[in-house]
Amino acid sequence: MTAVESRPAGVLGTTPARRPLGARVGAFVALTKPRIIELLLMSTVPVMFLAKRGVPDLWLVLAVVIGGYLSAGGANALNMYIDRDIDAVMSRTNQRPLVTGMVSPREAVVFGISLAVISTVWLWYFVNLLASGLALAGLLFYVFVYTLGLKRRTAQNIVWGGIAGCMPVLVGWAAVTNSLSWAPVVLFLVMFFWTPPHYWPLSMKVREDYAKAGVPMLPVTAGNLAVARQIVIYSWVMVAVSLTLWPLAHTSWLYPVSAVVLGALWLKEAHGLHARAKAGVVGAKLKEMRLFHWSITYLTLLMVAIAIDPFLR
C-alpha cells in the first residue's frame, strides 16, 4: 500500500465526490500544474512570432495555447497519479489533490488520459498533424520515460526528462510552418541546457525532501560543489547555443544583444553559486534560489526578445 492509499479519503472523512464543487474544480485545475504550464506556453507563443516573421494568426495562437495547456495538463495529472506516494512524504508536495484526497487516483487517471486524447485531437483538427504529434510525443515522454523510467532511477533524471519541456518550441514552430528547421532545433537545445541549471538549484533547496522520498536528484547523490560545477557547465553551453540562433534565424540586432546580456547575467549568478559552494557555504547563505528565480526571468526576457525581433528586421 502506498503512502497515499493509506490516508483517509479526505478531510473529516468525506469522499472526494462530496467536497464543495468549487474546491473540486480547483483541485482538478491543480492537477494540471498551471504554473509549470505558464513556462511551457511562454516558450511556445514567441516562437510562433519568429516562425511567422511577424504576427501569427491569432486564432491559431489561441488554438495552440488551448491545445498546449490540455496536453501539458494531461501529462502533469498522470505524473501526479504516478508520484502520489512520494508526494505524500515531501513537504513541498504533500498538499497536492491526490495526497489530500480531494481527487481520487481513478479520477486523476481518467482526467489525465482524457486531456491527453482531447489535446491530441484538438491540435490535429485546429492546428496540424505535426504539431499534434510533437505535443503527444512530449506528453508520452514525460509520463513514460521521465516519470516512470528515469525519475526514481538516476541522478540524471532531470537532464533527459527535460526533453519533454523542450517540445513546446517545436510545437509552436510546427503550428505556423507545418515543418521544422534549424531555428526551432536551436531553441529546443537552449531549453534542454536551460532545464538542469534551472531545476537543480531548487533541488538543492529541498534536498532533504527528495532524500526522504528516495528520489536520486543530483543534489541528493552529490555535494553542493559537484552540483554547482554541473550548473556552470550547462550554463555556459546554454548561452553558447543561444547565440547560434542569430545566424540560423537571421535575426536583427535585438536578439543577439539580448542573448549576450541575459546570458552574462545568468553566468554571473551561476559562478556566484559555484563560488559559495566552493567556499563551503551552506544553508540560507548558499542563496541557491537566486539562480532558480533568475532562470525564469532569463527565459521570459529571452522569449520576449524572440517575439519582438521579427519586427526590427
**What pLDDT was estimated at residue 5?**
40
Q: Is the pLDDT of residue 4 over 60?
A: no
Q: What is the pLDDT of residue 17?
A: 61
Report the share of the chain in percent with pLDDT over 90: 86
Long-range contacts of the stretch 136-145 (C-beta < 8 A, 24+): 136/71, 137/167, 138/71, 138/72, 138/75, 138/163, 138/164, 138/165, 138/166, 138/167, 138/168, 138/171, 139/71, 139/72, 139/74, 139/75, 139/164, 141/167, 142/75, 142/79, 143/75, 143/78, 143/79, 143/82
> What is the pLDDT averaged over residues 288-305?
95
Q: According to the model, what pLDDT value does residue 15 have?
A: 64
Residue 1 pLDDT level (bands cut at 50, 70, 90): very low
Per-residue pLDDT tens digits for 219-263 = 999 989 999 999 999 999 999 999 999 999 999 999 999 999 999
Q: Residue 96: which residues within 8 A CB-CB, separation 6 or more?
A: 30, 80, 84, 87
**165 and 98 Cβ atoms separated by less than 8 Å:** no
- Distance (Å, whole) CA 165 – CA 167: 6
- Which pLDDT belongs to residue 2? 41
> CA torsion, points 138, 143, 148, 149, in degrees to nearest 10?
0
CB within 8 Å of 91: residues ≥ 6 apart: 206, 209
- Residue 32 pLDDT > 50, yes or no? yes
DSSP secondary structure string, 105-163? HHHHHHHHHHHHHHHHHHHHHHT-HHHHHHHHHHHHIIIIIIIIIITTT-TTHHHHHTH
What residues contact 186, with CB distance under 8 A and at least 6 apart?
241, 242, 244, 245, 248, 249
Q: Is the pLDDT of residue 41 over 90?
A: no
Residue 212 pLDDT > 80, yes or no? yes
Asked if 23-178 and 181-313 have one fold, the answer is no
- 165 Cβ contact partners less than 8 Å away, ≥ 6 residues apart: 39, 40, 138, 142, 191, 195
Write out pLDDT tens, residues 152-202: 999 999 999 999 999 999 999 999 999 999 999 999 999 999 999 999 999
For the domain spanning 181-313, the CATH number is 1.20.120.1780
- pLDDT at residue 9, rounded to an integer: 38
> Angle between the 58-82 and 45-52 helix axes, to the nearest 10 degrees?
140
State the pTM of this model.
0.91
Q: What share of the chain has pLDDT > 70, as a percent?
A: 95
More confident: 106 or 20 = 106
Is pLDDT above 90 for 8? no
The pLDDT tens digits for 252-293 are 999 999 999 999 999 999 999 999 999 988 888 899 999 999
* Average pLDDT score, the chain: 92
23-178 placed in CATH 1.10.3720.10: no
- pLDDT of amino acid 21: 81
The residue ranges of every structural domain in the chain are: 23-178, 181-313
Would you state the pLDDT for residue 14?
A: 52
